[in-house]
Structure 1
Amino acid sequence: MSITARALQTPPVGRRPTGPLTVGVEEEFLLVDRGTRAPAGRAPAVLADARQILGERAQSEFFTVQVETCTVPATRLTDLYADLARSRRVMNEAAAASGCLLVATGTPPIAPPGPLTVTEGERYRRISERYAQLLADELPVMCGCHVHVGVDSRGQALALANHMGPWLPVLAALAANSPYLDGHDTGYAARRAVDQGKWPTTGPAPLVDEAGYEHTVSDLVRRGVLLDRRMLYWYARPSEHVPTLEIRVADSNADLDTVVLLAALVRGLAATCLHRIDAGLPAPRPAAARLRRAYESAARYGLSSPDRTPTGPGWAGRTGLGRLLAFAGPALAAHGDLAWCTQAAARLLAAGTGADRQRRAYRAGGGDLTTVVDDLAATTAAACG
């Protein structure tokens, strides 16, 4: 939908952190039956087991075929990597105890055996009632990977969102991992992006300062577009419960290197943009049509996009990843991440995105989608350490 925000003013963005920025990750996973490889609604039992170790960092999602894990804020990639691997290991073992495989993918390759069940709870019940028509249209299961970077204030988060926005299609492209949905090749690298866009407010964040944000979000809730403030689904949004900017463009990925690369690039991009904000540089303002085409290209092609049209400071596809590494390079180096990110990006470009790997598994399995699910589950489990 189109959102008209209040005019930008110079915001009080808070002090810039003097040390490394913190980064954290939320990963959503699909539970599939070990026998059929179809989505299995066993999240309550899986979470009960996982929470004995992870506590509240093991969380439910909208449907009972999904689970989520959250890391603690990290300043070093090695710590983030270890935290993600441990959380996956615990959740993988809990899934196995309930006869499930844990799968990191944006959408389920194999269709569920029947109607999806909404997770119990007052908020989920209210969402299912408010958006009953959307759910009646058979909205599929979608699993995303959300990256949080630490900020000092909401104003700072919004200033960062304004500066980072034109680069986010590159991050969406590198994390594309949902070509198959309910038994069919969708023709997309990231089909999740298409279906996620059916939820209200999903899309690029408007350019707003703190006053504009408060006005816009309060108005959306007042008019009933959103159930509450937590339902704001902009691709870059201030968190309502922790002091972070949350980036929400990525599919869930089985390959852990891809997840950590995504998190490192978000942090490097944020640190770079903080310096630009400190210098008083204005946020880039790409034309809405160009930005929309960049997101469409990322969803359709991933890093294989043939579209070389500039969307502001970034470019589409593989070229965009190289430009992002160059743009954020000094900040990546300052965090000690540049060498690893350069190598991880090279590996990703050589091996392809998660969507590319899913399609290779499909061909190798002679057109059997169970092979795709098995490969996803094996890659997810391999990342458990």
Structure 2
Amino acid sequence: MDHADSIVIDPELAERAESQDLHTLGVEEEYLLVDAVEPRAVEAVEEVFDRLPEDIRDSVQHEFMRSQIEVASPPQLELGTLAKALRDLRAGVAGAAEAAGARLLAIGTGPTVNGRVRVVDNPRYHRMQERFGDLSPGAGMCGTHVHVSIPDDETGVQVLNHLRPWLPIFQAATVNSPLFEGRETGYASWRFMLWERWPTVGPAPYLRSFQDYETMIGDLEASGAMLDEGMLYWYARLSARYPTVEIRMGDVMPTADDAVLLAALARALVATLVQEVHAGTPAPDVPHPLLMAAHWRAAHDGLEGLNIDMATREPRPAWKLMRQLFDYVRPELERHGDLETATTLLGRLRAHGTGAARQRAILAQGGSVADVVDRFARLTRGDAPEK
């Protein structure tokens, strides 16, 4: 929920990236813990922690609810190394979950009816619950956060301005929560609709400078809408401790490959926008209500429907907008050595659909919610690769 700074940047890696004018990237993923027999969330996080392999323990954190757990990959330059790190983390945590009588599930919300799940016994989480009440219903909400390095905070703020019109299509690619408490919600990402209830969730506003960014944080803390900077839940924000932009509005994705594709596109987009900032290109003037409409459409339709073309302000097939994004960032995908992998992974996403589409396909073929949970637990672990 708010472990934005759990990714530790290796100074030597950062120096190597800077010397080559490249951007490092890291991924955080939040998962649900479900019972090994019944498809219901379980408060098993402490038992899972007790069984984690030593080599991944430092990359795993608690999340808000006791039925959740989070991993953070080390920052990487090479996409293949990131992919291996994510697969190893998923497999290691899934193994620990199974040893604790649970399963690990990369899914945006609890898909089945569940009893009351408590927050993790952490003073900060208890303060959050006291201040904000029941804004995190069910078993918890699980997302994906991608960190991309930036040269400095001033550049980062301008990158946030340029990111705003692109993020709805990123969100459409991540939708993975059409089910909630045993029912089809009619949305590809019901997690997003639940998440919107928190007072600091939304697109980052247009910001003139890093000082403007810091002033906004102070004002929001003073208002009581957030306890600290960790609760700045904008769809993209700056890390509080490290020179990264964090893109954070998406659902957790079903497979490590899905997450790697998102990370590759995020890095290429941030790298492209850094060049625009340095060239003095002004950020697009996108009205806030139109941004909100595009994000709502992304949550509703995913990639299988429509979204808003921010240049024309007209609805277009979301897959065409995804292709437009891919073509726009292609030079940076190539410069970072990611083009071949990203092309392959985009083709797989096109063939298999988003997580929401895959869940719905199981139900359309006569499967049950339990079948969805079983299939996605195997996808999460990496035991059911999709070719």
TM over 0.5: same fold?
A: yes
Aligned to 1:10: none
Partner of 1:326: 327
Separation in 1, partners of 2:65, 2:202: 22
Q: Is the 8 A contact 2:113 2:180 kept in 1?
A: yes
The answer to whether the Cα contact below 8 Å between 1:161 and 1:236 also exists between their aligned partners in 2 is yes
Cα distance in 2 between the residues matched to 1:312 and 1:381: 41
Deviation at 1:384, TM superposition (A): 9.5
For the residue of structure 2 that corresponds to 1:237, the secondary structure is: strand
- Aligned positions of 1:261-300 closer than 5 A: 261-300=261-300
How far apart, CA to CA, are the structure 1 residues paired with 2:58 and 2:312? 40
2:104 aligns to what?
Answer: 102
Equivalent position amino acid for 1:272 in 2: T
Cα distance change on mapping 1:311 and 1:95 into 2, 3 Å: farther
Give the 3 Å change call, closer, same or farther, for CA 126–20 of structure 1 in structure 2. same
User: What is the letter of the counterpart of residue 375 of structure 1?
Assistant: R
Structure 2 unaligned segments of length 5 or more: list them.
1-16
Q: CA deviation at 1:308?
A: 5.1
**How far apart, CA to CA, are the structure 2 residues paired with 1:331 and 1:83?**
22
Partner Cα distance (2:237, 2:173) in 1: 20
Evaluate the alpha carbon distance shift between residue 322 and residue 282 of structure 1 in structure 2; reply closer, same or farther with a 3 A threshold. same
Looking at structure 1, the residues matched to 225 and 281 of structure 2 have their Cα atoms a distance apart, in angstroms, of 34
Structure-2 change in CA distance of 1:166 and 1:16 (3 Å) = farther
How far off its partner does 1:351 sit? 1.5
Which deviates more, 93-102 or 311-320?
311-320
Does 1:93 find its partner at 2:95?
A: yes
**In structure 1, C-alpha distance between the alignment counterparts of 2:147 and 2:313, rounded to whole Å:** 22
Match runs of 1:151-166 below 5 Å: 151-166=150-165
Query: What SS does the aligned partner of 2:197 have?
Result: coil
Counterpart Cα distance in 2 of 1:255 and 1:56: 22
After TM superposition, list the pairs within 5 Å mapping 1:1-385 onto structure 2. 18-50=20-52, 52-112=54-114, 114-134=115-135, 138=137, 141-208=140-207, 209-307=209-307, 309-310=309-310, 317-364=318-365, 366-382=366-382
Indicate the SS of the match to 2:56. helix
Inter-partner Cα distance in structure 1 for 2:272 and 2:239: 20
Secondary structure of 2:248's aligned partner: strand
- Quote how far apart the aligned CAs of 1:316 are: 5.6
Q: Secondary structure at the match of 1:246?
A: strand
Q: Following the alignment from structure 2 to structure 1, what is the Cα–Cα distance between the partners of residues 234 and 133?
A: 21
CA distance in structure 2 between the partners assigned to 1:170 and 1:367 by the alignment: 29
Structure 2 SS opposite 1:134 = coil
Q: How many residue pairs get matched? A: 367
**Counterparts of 1:277 and 1:17, CA distance in 2:** 20
Q: Structure 1 residues 172 and 17, CA, compared in 2 at 3 Å: closer, same or farther?
A: farther
For residues 62 and 297 of structure 1, the distance between their equivalents in structure 2, rounded to whole angstroms, comes to 27
Please state whether the residue corresponding to 1:225 is helix, strand or coil.
coil
Deviation at 1:123, TM superposition (A): 0.8
Give the CA deviation at 1:239: 1.0
CA distance in 2, matches of 1:25, 1:69: 8
Q: Is the 8 A contact 2:138 2:181 kept in 1?
A: no
- Structural RMSD (CA): 2.0
Contact kept, 8 Å, 1:26 with 1:68, in 2: the verdict is yes
SS of 1:303's equivalent in the other structure is: coil
Confirm or deny: 8 A CA contact 2:79 2:264 kept in the other structure.
yes
When normalised by structure 2's length, the TM-score is 0.90
Alpha-carbon distance change, 210 to 83 in structure 1, aligned in 2, over 3 angstroms: same
- Give the match for residue 9 of structure 2: none
Which deviations, in whole Å up to 9, do the C-alpha atoms of 1:207-243 show, x marking residues without a partner? 1121111111101111211111110000000111332
Cα distance in 1, alignment partners of residues 321 and 222 from structure 2: 39
SS in 1 for 2:146: strand
| 1:241 aligned counterpart, secondary structure | coil
What is the CA–CA distance in structure 2 between the aligned matches of 1:264 and 1:313, rounded to whole Å?
27
- Mean Cα deviation higher: 22-31 or 140-149: 140-149
